[in-house]
Each structure stands twice: as C-alpha cells, then as structure tokens.
Amino acid sequence: MQTGHVIRQPNVYINHWYVRDDTRTTYAANNSGNGTAITGVRLTITPRYSNSTIRLRWTLHGEGNENIGFLVHRGGSLIGFNTQRGNVRHSCITTCLYDQNVDSTPHLTTVDWYDRPGTASSIFYDVAVRSTGGSNYTYFHNRTSGSTGTGNHEIGISFGFAWEITADY
C-alpha cells in the first residue's frame, strides 16, 4: 500500500468552509473607499492546491437603502466589483433590494464570487458594503433598521460558504 498519493480530478469540489453569524449589528456603507467588511461572515480558508478556484457565496439577512452595493475582499484587498467600470463607488456585485419600507422589512441578499487566489496558504474573504451614490448609508445586519428584534421587526441569520474546485490542468 502506497501512502502520500492523492488522486485528483479536474473541476471537482474538494473542500468547503462555512460560517454562521447571528449577531445583530450595523455597518457603515460610506460613499468612498473600498467598503466596510461584514466581519461576522468572514471566511478563512486554506486551499489544498495553489491553482484551485474558490467559489464564494454569502447569504445575508438585513436591511438597507437600495443604494448600498456589495463587494468582495481577499485578505483585506478589494477584488470583487465590476472591473469594466473600475473601482468607483457605483461599481459593485449586487445591491440591497429596493424597498420603500426601510424600517421593518428585512430581506436576503446573495453575493456570489469566484476567485483564483494562487496560494495553498490560509487566506480570508469578506463581503463588504459601500454606498453607490452621493450619500452615506447604514446596513442593518441580521436585523431591521427600526429594531434589534421586536414584533414585526424580524431578526435573522447570515451565512458564508466557500468551496474549493480543482483546476482543469
């Protein structure tokens, strides 16, 4: 019997990580800078291979102005935004839901991203918020803006997931 050998097939999910966050808090979505990381759903991963692709997904429960955009950071550096337009405040992956009741109606936002970090060392990923317009806003994480948990002001849970996908040689 030989040891130390691994059979590797291309484009297969080989590793996964997840994080759950129940914390009710707020994050500043300012109209400048690279966004504020939602640290409660930080994903820290160690890929097996340096040429793997990492699939990231965050499911965020919260509430905010429809002019809040979501971005992705790797190791504290901004990587997730619309690269054709560049790193400008209105360049993001997705935005908060348009809702005329920004007091008691939370929603789920899903942020998906794929990355090739080029390392088999430990790295971390954050989803972040920033304003896409001229005003600064607040993102209400796992809660509504009107309350941290009372009747008709629901509280929830957010998740982050990461999957390592082997390279296609």
Q: Which domain holds residue 89?
A: 13-165
Asked whether residue 23 is domain-assigned, the answer is yes
What pLDDT, on the 0 to 100 scale, is given for residue 4?
58
pLDDT at position 8, please?
66
Per residue in 114-125, pLDDT tens?
Answer: 999 999 999 999
**Number of domains the chain is built from:** 1
Over range 38-44, report the average pLDDT. Answer: 98
Judge whether 6 lies within some domain: no
Q: Please, are residues 47 and 117 in contact by the beta-carbon 8 Å criterion?
A: yes
Rg (CA), the chain: 18
pLDDT over 60 (residue 3): no
Residue 50 lies in a domain: yes
Is 1 within the bounds of a domain? no
Residue 17 lies in a domain: yes
Please give the mean pLDDT across all residues of the chain: 92
Render pLDDT for 72-126 as a digit per residue (tens, 0 to 9). Answer: 999 999 999 999 988 999 999 999 999 888 889 899 999 999 999 999 999 999 9
CATH number at 18 reads 2.60.120.1340
* Cβ atoms 19, 57 nearer than 8 A: no
User: Which amino acid is present at 97?
Assistant: L
Q: Give me the DSSP letters along the chain.
A: ---S-----TT-EEEEEEEEE---EEEEE-SSSS-EE-GGG-EEE--S-TT-EEEEEEEEEEE--TTEEEEEEETTEEEES-TTT-SSTT--SEEPPP-S-TTT--EEEEEEEEE----SS-EEEEEEEEESSSS-EEEEETS-SS-SSBTTB----EEEEEEEE----
Q: Is 81 a member of any domain?
A: yes
In the chain the first and final C-alpha atoms are separated, in Å, by: 27
pLDDT at position 6 is 60
Is 153 within a domain?
Answer: yes
3 Cβ contact list (under 8 Å, min separation 6): none
Residue 4: inside a domain: no
